[in-house]
């Protein structure tokens, strides 16, 4: 599988729960100087989960992260998803697009795209 790279901010939800990741608008000076190979994450599989499917406590924490995410950050995240054929394909298979992605989670080689539908 392709290597998916993105500049990310990790907000730990709680012990035992994977960290939720949101795209960062512009990389800091130190991140801009880091070669991509050092900040790469290997994604072995992709899953798409609707926000409504999460347990209430986890959903609440995701909502908190989403509330703190700027529109610029969401746009950056969605561009990264659209630029990754595997991620875009996983969304398309569920009848969704990157416009419905509100957060992502990367843990143990699994990219989870958390979506919110109307």
110-115 vs 20-23, strand pairing mode: unpaired
Query: Is pLDDT of 7 > 80?
Result: no
What is the predicted pLDDT for the residue at 117? 86
The predicted-structure confidence for 16-45, as pLDDT tens digits, reads as follows 334 444 443 334 333 334 444 445 678 899
Q: What percent of the chain has pLDDT over 90?
A: 56
């Amino acid at each position: 599988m392709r290597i998916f790279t993105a500049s990310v901010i990790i907000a730990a939800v709680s012990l035992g729960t994977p960290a939720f990741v949101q795209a960062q608008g512009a990389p800091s000076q130190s991140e801009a100087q880091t070669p991509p190979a050092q900040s790469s994450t290997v994604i072995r599989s992709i899953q798409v989960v609707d926000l409504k499917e999460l347990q209430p406590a986890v959903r609440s924490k995701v909502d908190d992260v989403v509330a703190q995410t700027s529109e610029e950050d969401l746009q950056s995240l969605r561009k990264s998803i659209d630029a990754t054929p595997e991620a875009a394909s996983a969304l398309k298979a569920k009848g969704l697009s990157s416009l419905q992605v509100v957060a992502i989670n990367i843990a143990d080689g699994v990219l989870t795209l958390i979506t919110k539908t109307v």
